[in-house]
Structure 1
């Protein structure tokens, strides 16, 4: 039986987390959510994983929630639905705070919760043919647990439009709105662009990249006051005296590659 989620570890510490249900356009259910969450938690703790790539097999990235799963949950109680929703919320949160850089590769359709997965990643590369849609209101639902990440990525003005209208929008518009970082012409170029980005990331200090993610989360939408100023000073002081900070500065001054860069 084919596994619905596959974690592939490749050279140089790059993990590929693959949604592998192309026969249903990679629609996800509670089983896939649980498996994705488990793999993310494992990757976060694994020092050998330096970059995580989230991708899927087949024509479409993901059509969102599986119809069978939604039908099953519609018959369940409020408490069961609340617990189920918290699991999806945990997945989004874990992907968002992962201490490793995350790259999302989008081909074809990214609907519903799949837009949330993209919004939680640090880098999103999509093809020109990709289409995005916050489709929940079409079936009487709302994109609730993904909303914090989608609104942060797109801004409240555009998010409000597409959450209410359920219109689909192109990769070019998604790029303009800030949901997508790069648009490539074909599916084949997804891997090429991903490879170029990975090469760039592997030149950087793993500790510093994790600290940079934490820094953005801490500083975003914060009022600039004495407490924030002191916090940012503390952060740079801590990383300067850390082993990787010392190694990076020494390598720069000695005009050599730091130890995290393979020769």
Structure 2
């Protein structure tokens, strides 16, 4: 049975031990909004409330898996985003790494900015050869502050650093070499089915214990999260970011166009 999430940004399908969550804003390139984040939390609530569920699979409609922050929405609310947007998004990524279910991202298309964060925070990630991954935030006068703690955990410091500094997208094969995705295939179905053979046999409390233990073993601390939010808030209210986001929202002018 397929359901629509409360805010209409997702489609949900529950089947046996798997909840499939499909981002359903293809015209907006599945960009991240407060409504989308609320719907994703609701989906995770559903997964945790279902004792049979073991795996949450994230997919997307259209050519973009997730394009990150909705810049049109951001143009009119940079102060609100600076105050609360980073906290909401960081909270979502943190929940993906702590929810007592196995989270799998199946990427078929472009993942940018916050979309890379969703992939990095997932337990497993599969991608098709058509997929691309990029962090363009520096072009807008921003940094992927909330993404980086999870990306560094996934691919290492230097690879996260150069991906941020270059702003250049990488293809699926390179993402696999860097460890951002676990497997590249035209059809992620076989890889997902192999995973389900074991994942469906895990007790949810064991999954939660494992995630919490590994979190304590890594550098993503309360202090790091606080620093990420402080820097995100500072950059969102900076003149450079305000001007470039507004220019895009009002005239579709990219940050490198003068």
Paired position in structure 1 for 2:65: 61
**What TM-score comes out, normalization by structure 1 length?**
0.75
Paired position in structure 2 for 1:40: 44
C-alpha distance after superposition, 1:169-205 (max 9, x if no partner): 1112211211111111x2xx12332233223311334
Paired position in structure 1 for 2:87: 86
Aligned partners of 1:64 and 1:111 also within 8 Å: yes
Aligned partners of 1:28 and 1:66 also within 8 Å: yes
**Partners of 1:106 and 1:30 in 2: CA distance:** 22
**Partners of 2:66 and 2:182 in 1: CA distance:** 18
The structure, 1 or 2, with the larger RCO (C-alpha pairs under 8 Å, 6+ apart) is 2
C-alpha distance after superposition, 1:214-256 (max 9, x if no partner): 332233469xxxxxxxxxxxxxxxxxxxxxxxxxxxxxxxxxx
How many residue pairs align between the two structures? 215
Give how far 1:44 is off.
2.9
Q: 5 Å matches for 1:13-162?
A: 13-74=17-78, 77=79, 81-162=82-163
**What TM-score comes out, normalization by structure 2 length?**
0.76
**Partners of 1:80 and 1:193 in 2: CA distance:** 37
Which secondary structure state, in structure 2, belongs to the residue aligned with residue 49 of structure 1? coil
Paired position in structure 2 for 1:198: 196
Q: 5 Å matches for 1:173-192?
A: 173-184=174-185, 186=186, 189-192=187-190
Give how far 1:80 is off.
5.2
Which secondary structure state, in structure 2, belongs to the residue aligned with residue 110 of structure 1? strand
Q: Which consecutive residues of structure 2, in runs of 5 or more, have no partner in the other structure?
A: 221-258
**Partners of 1:137 and 1:55 in 2: CA distance:** 27
Determine which structure has more spread, i.e. the larger CA radius of gyration. 1
Aligned partners of 2:97 and 2:211 also within 8 Å: no
Q: Which consecutive residues of structure 1, in runs of 5 or more, have no partner in the other structure?
A: 223-263
In structure 2, relative to structure 1, the CA distance for the partners of 1:190 and 1:82 (3 Å cut) is: same
Aligned partners of 1:101 and 1:210 also within 8 Å: no
* Selected match of 1:212 from 199, 210, 213: 210
